[in-house]
Amino acid sequence: MTRNKQIRAVLLSALMVLSVFAGSIAFTGTAAATAQSVSVGSSTSFTSDTTNLTSVTVQDDATGSGDGAMHVFVDENGNGAFDSGEANVSNSSYSANPVNFANLSIAGLSEGDYTVHAFENASLNDGDNSFDSSVTISIDDTKPSLLSAIHYQNGSAKADGEVEVAFDENVKINSINLTDGEDFSVTSEDINDNGRVVFQLSDVYTQDLEVEYTVEDDAGNEVSGTEDVTFAPVYVSGTNNNTAYKGSTVAVVSNSTNEDVAVDAVDEDNDYVFDGSTGTNSKVFLFDTSDRELDSYEFEFDSQTSSVDVRDLGLEVSVDDLNITDEDALEGSITAHADGRTVDVVALDDDGDEVDGASQTLTLDGQGEADFDLGSLDAGDYTVEVTDTFSGVTVESDTVSVSKAKDSTSNFGTSVVTEQVGDIAEITVTMEGTDEVDVMIGGDNLGYTANATVEDGNDDGEVILLFNTYDADDADSFSVDDSDDSVTIEDANITTGVTTTLDAGDYDLEVSTGGDADNVGTLVLEERSTTSQKIWTAPTGADLTETEDVYDAIDNGNLTESDAVANGDFVVQQVSATGLEGAFDESDFDALTGSQFNVTVEQTNPGPNRNAKVLGINSSSATVIADGDNDTYFIAYDLDDVSSSRTDYYDSNADQFAVEDDDAFNATFTVLEDGDLAEDDESVSAEYEVVEPTLDLDQDEFGVAAAADQTVSGTASVAPGTALTIRVKSDGDTQPRFLKTSTAYVQADGTFSSTFDFSEQNENDTFEVTVSVDSGSAEDASADGVVGAAAEQTTSTPAETTDATETATATPTATATATPTATATEAATEEPAEETTESSTPGFGIAVALVALVAAALLAVRRD
């Protein structure tokens, strides 16, 4: 290094040292500072849902970071010191005053009070306990609640009313609405955020009012609700006196909220006293006179005394006849000690619920009397409730018993209902003059009794009661055939000594109206049986999910009985057995398998030294279609979707094997003795063999005439009803080129055929015939063909004048098809002749590529 360069290096090093030293001086030497005050925003109350304090502000005693950093933290454990892990924020580069912090975490703090400390210092360390300033925050999760909603006459004008709504704490009113659903109006509202809302009304409304509200407290806890408004018809305020009928509610209205109210009976013999309060944020105290003696009562509040005289309205109700029929009107009379009163009259059922359509609103005459007529009612027990609409005084009549009129009657559609044990019995009940009857099944001597009530909901005079004899011990075993009708029964209405399936035997039936038996019958439950099983096959992709699908497929020839099933086609096991209907109605196939029955499909030709394959038949691989009305059950599965294991029973965890050509199986359906449906195992079996799916054309070379209606035919091992596409395509030097296609269906005997029109082709034209399955794994079959001379035509050529429809119906082969869509073979469609075009690969040719390679090599040599 030269001397100049050495000097330059020394000078540069000196400058660096001086700059660092100057910087250190700049960061030291300022006077210590303190945080004078700290705030957390407009409110110090928060909910536990609040995650951060977003408006923390610290007022410094001077502008600038005098002590290096401003720290704020939450004393979470309340020990007055900072502990590592407590939420905190710091700012070491502030210049503005005050200092603002946007995110001080309070997430996870439980309900209570906490101190937020501000501390201006170089650092915030574990154990620091001397701080500049602090503020207390509250975590509050208690939601506000509505204490009262009271409607009363305001006293200044009898036509005016008020509704006071009071909450248990100061709240912010987000929304509030008063309604009765009809015709009243609010003239004004006094809505404050202090927990009290007053609605000024243009009238006093005796009907039911509701208040709908959404409010939140200072901490942000929000609550919404709808509450009924209590009506107080009598108003007491100041020193005024008033009169109230016993049973009504008195509103004692104070000038201030949370006012103490003392109540004292005037009569010396009446020792009633009570000390109450209007309550938080309320100016109204309610005095219920229902249980009070007829007397005067004084109220002391607002340093004044007022009183109310409790009198008897004398409201009474009487019924003309306590025993009537469902064709008689429920009538009676009302009396009171005051005239002109408006009363509501309503019939109540034995549950205390109002009966629809059985109500009146009446006005008592000058003598304080009125008569009512509530019309006819269904059989049952009722009372009549009368309410004085203004005072709320209510009385109730003695019980009225309504029975069925004598001309009402019921019967069974047939006197003997026969079914097998475990099936669903259909009990037809007829009725006249009523839409509700009672049905009893069984009797004490049979160890089973059930009492149900059926109702005719569509007025057709009939209800079909469905009784599941497989699961007869609870109310779910009863239903109705028509959704408009209904059945009512409770577990308590069933007495039984069995837990599930009823035994075979004769069970008494009884139908009654109004408690009187009209007719009797018998439910005969026969022993059930497992009868037979047979095998059907259907094409690949068959849609078999409902009972109608199965029978339609049989009618159309798309489901045929066979002991040979092409690999990939559908196998359908048809089991004939009685007594399974109730089990399938109660549970699904997987739940019943192993508990009530087993379905086993086991290979019969496993080969030497190999265990037999056992197919996995379950709801994932098979569809079970239950036709309980006909005691028939179909188990359908596509061989492509079924796996197998070489175990005693199918095991999904063992090695899995596919079904292969030439596999033979024995399918066994067993009703288990360990279940509820058989005393001993009952089994039925059927066998089938899996064959290779094949297509074959009848000729190696088809010779056709240059004419219409030329037939191409063949045979197939795939299921009858399988759709095939037959293509006839020109080949060789044939010109013009042609392509003809047609759809054919495999017939019940395994044959297929289709006709084509060669009238436009020339003699010696050659072609290729190809047949393929539209769905499945069978390989295509093909054959050659040649066009020969057309047959000589006479002068009269019916073929030329016969239209396409006549030609098609005159072809027997085309009409013998498997499905409705294939009853006439689809007309062969001729497509435009195929054209062969040559094309070259886009881009450079091989010569250009070789030149490019040589050039690259020369360039590499030059660089070397």
Own/partner long-range contacts of 499-504 (Cβ < 8 Å, ≥24 apart)? 499/473, 500/470, 500/471, 500/472, 500/473, 500/676, 501/421, 501/422, 501/469, 501/470, 501/471, 501/472, 501/582, 501/676, 501/677, 502/421, 502/448, 502/469, 502/472, 503/421, 504/421
Is the backbone peptide bond immediately before 832 cis, with ω within 30 degrees of 0? no
pTM, to two decimals = 0.51
Confidence of residue 798 (pLDDT cuts 50, 70, 90): very low
- Asked whether the beta carbons of 445 and 432 are under 8 A apart, the reply is no
Q: Average pLDDT of 219-229?
A: 89
Q: What is the pLDDT of residue 466?
A: 96
* C-alpha span between 285 and 306 (Å, rounded): 13
Question: What residue segments make up the domains of the chain, in order of their start?
Answer: 35-45+57-106+117-139, 146-311, 340-403, 409-526, 530-691, 695-831
Give the right CATH number for 695-831 from 2.60.40, 1.10.3470, 3.40.50, 2.40.160: 2.60.40
* C-alpha span between 449 and 489 (Å, rounded): 12
* C-alpha span between 569 and 539 (Å, rounded): 5
Q: DSSP label at 282?
A: -
Q: What is the pLDDT of residue 786?
A: 96
Res. 846: pLDDT tops 60: no
Instruction: Give me the architecture of the 409-526 domain, per CATH.
Output: Sandwich (2.60)
Res. 857: pLDDT tops 50: no
Residues 6+ apart with CB under 8 A from 165: 146, 148, 149, 176, 196, 197, 198, 199, 211, 213
- Asked whether the beta carbons of 729 and 739 are under 8 A apart, the reply is yes
Neighbours of 64 (CB within 10 A): 11
Q: Average pLDDT of 249-259?
A: 92
User: 185-199, 221-235, 258-272, 693-707: lowest mean pLDDT where?
Assistant: 185-199
* CATH 3.30.70, applies to 530-691: no
Confidence of residue 182 (pLDDT cuts 50, 70, 90): low
Judge if 530-691 and 695-831 fold alike in CATH terms.
Answer: yes
Q: What pLDDT, in 10s, does the model give residues 720-738?
A: 999 999 999 999 889 999 9
Q: What pLDDT, in 10s, does the model give residues 640-676?
A: 999 999 999 999 999 999 999 999 999 999 999 999 9
Q: Terminal CA-to-CA distance of the chain, rounded, Å? A: 38
Q: Which of 38-42, 247-251, 401-405 has the highest mean pLDDT?
A: 247-251
Report the amino acid identity of residue 683.
S
Q: What is the pLDDT of residue 806?
A: 34
Q: What is the pLDDT of residue 451?
A: 94
Nearest to 90 by CA among 63, 111, 65: 65
On average, the pLDDT of the chain sits at: 85
* C-alpha span between 579 and 599 (Å, rounded): 17
Res. 206: pLDDT tops 90: no
Neighbours of 413 (CB within 10 A): 14
Q: What pLDDT, in 10s, does the model give residues 512-542?
A: 987 888 999 999 999 999 999 999 999 999 9
Q: What pLDDT, in 10s, does the model give residues 781-790?
A: 999 999 996 6
- Asked whether the beta carbons of 209 and 163 are under 8 A apart, the reply is yes
Q: What pLDDT, in 10s, does the model give residues 274-285?
A: 999 999 899 999
* C-alpha span between 302 and 754 (Å, rounded): 107
More confident: 41 or 456 = 456
Nearest to 213 by CA among 242, 247, 174, 172: 174
